[in-house]
Structure 1
């Protein structure tokens, strides 16, 4: 269990990398952001359909041979997972949804924004709006990261060899989430420390989600229930990939980079599973 928690902590802690990039003012190029998000989506989609969903069906079948009943329950659990994360996503205001950040905000590449004296009032209004946006985004991301953390934790409990690439994928897509919080907060307050810690804390909601989920669901993490949870986790990951990662990647305008990275992510996941 300690290993599973540490892996979840690593995944959530990666938000701090994006936060560091944001406070350093280095930002990230559209191509690099598109590549990272596409790679992450490829990994998560492949592991969901090729590993988690079939394994859930196998556990639900009660043996080595996958039965029609096991497949049916796994399929239902898969779509229940999608439904649950979709409902959670709808509760997050669209204006601060994580996939609305494309990494193209002006001033995110270390350039200081200079305004004429007669625009100071507008500048103050802008900074207030940015601070509000950054703070609400941090809260939204924290809420969003709770089920992600539990998904990673469950996968690690079942099979660490599956969880390691999943952790890598989630950590990769947490980096731009850290940027999404740190960039507006840093520009609004001028404080690197506030921007960094607010963004980092939003990512630490993942290990918190793992602990809360485990404490609430520990009695059910065995037998058929584990199979249903694995299939449901696959649904969560597919939804995150299609609703968050790929749309954000496409917003960068680097379509071919997204597609190529998606395929590379699948290939890396396939190679990892074969080796392990």
Structure 2
């Protein structure tokens, strides 16, 4: 099945392939959010474990799928070879840092008094969606730049690696969709609206994927920087939000084991398919 998918994606335009791959990650977000239809509450231990898994996938993807290929395809030797990765990684983290300070949003299971960004008279629903949207911008961008690297024929970029990244991000998007929709359901929002806002948080991924693919296709020299940029953005999200969220209750061991499992899954997918 995977061989068929990879063969098909190799036969079409890489920008279109990036769009299809990011649609897959969006669909899995929607499926995770759909759990609000049969359930009104979710066990907090399970949620923390799932968020830990999400963090593990994102950290593994940042290295195996983005940083390592970015360094490999950079010109030069020694310290010169790592400069694009260092600049891109730092820029990606600073980009999300700036968005985090400007974009109004509310982290999962936090009170309205703890909302972040500039003051805005927006409802809790909107603020929760925007918080997860911050996650999905670098995830969509990561998929796009990797497919763009394939289009540019850069060494270290392959359809298999891009598919592995899309699968890993899709898997960890499942609990992210639930993490948005379930708090809304608990606060009395209807199941359909809870699902709608949950899946909406990933709508930015296809857009970011296409932008990333187009950018590196037409400006090939930026690819090492773009890969590291996506990695830096994802690592910032993991450290600033995902990991702290899993430490609020007494489920730190479960969250840590979830993180390890997520890292193993993403590493295995990348090495196996890439």
What TM-score does the superposition give when structure 1 sets the normalisation length? 0.74
Displacement of 1:143 = 5.5
Contact 2:49/2:254, CA 8 A, preserved across alignment: yes
1:37 matched residue in structure 2: 51
Greater CA deviation, 235-244 or 133-142? 133-142
Alignment of 1:17-36 (within 5 A): 17-36=31-50
Q: For residues 273 and 143 of structure 1, what CA distance do their matches in structure 2 show?
A: 24
Residues 1:206 and 1:15: Cα distance change in structure 2 (over 3 Å): same
Gaps of 5+ in 2: 1-13, 112-121, 150-157
2:85 matched residue in structure 1: 74
Q: For residues 51 and 194 of structure 1, what CA distance do their matches in structure 2 show?
A: 35
Alignment of 1:53-68 (within 5 A): 53-61=67-75, 66-68=77-79
Alignment of 1:1-276 (within 5 A): 1=14, 2-61=16-75, 66-93=77-104, 96-97=105-106, 100-102=107-109, 132-142=123-133, 144-158=135-149, 159-186=158-185, 191-215=190-214, 218-220=217-219, 222=220, 224-276=221-273
Partner secondary structure for residue 69 of structure 1: helix
Gaps of 5+ in 1: 106-130
Residues 1:229 and 1:249: Cα distance change in structure 2 (over 3 Å): same
Partner secondary structure for residue 152 of structure 1: helix
Deviations 1:77-120 (A, max 9, x none): 11111111111122233xx33xx215x99xxxxxxxxxxxxxxx
Partner secondary structure for residue 32 of structure 1: helix
Contact 1:43/1:265, CA 8 A, preserved across alignment: yes
Flag the structure with larger Rg: 1
Deviations 1:157-189 (A, max 9, x none): 433333334334433443344334433544566
Q: For residues 205 and 144 of structure 1, what CA distance do their matches in structure 2 show?
A: 10
2:10 matched residue in structure 1: none
Q: How many residues align?
A: 241
Q: For residues 16 and 78 of structure 1, what CA distance do their matches in structure 2 show?
A: 29
Partner secondary structure for residue 203 of structure 1: coil
Displacement of 1:258 = 1.5
Residues 1:47 and 1:135: Cα distance change in structure 2 (over 3 Å): closer
Looking at secondary structure, tell me which structure has more helix per residue: 1
Contact 2:32/2:174, CA 8 A, preserved across alignment: yes
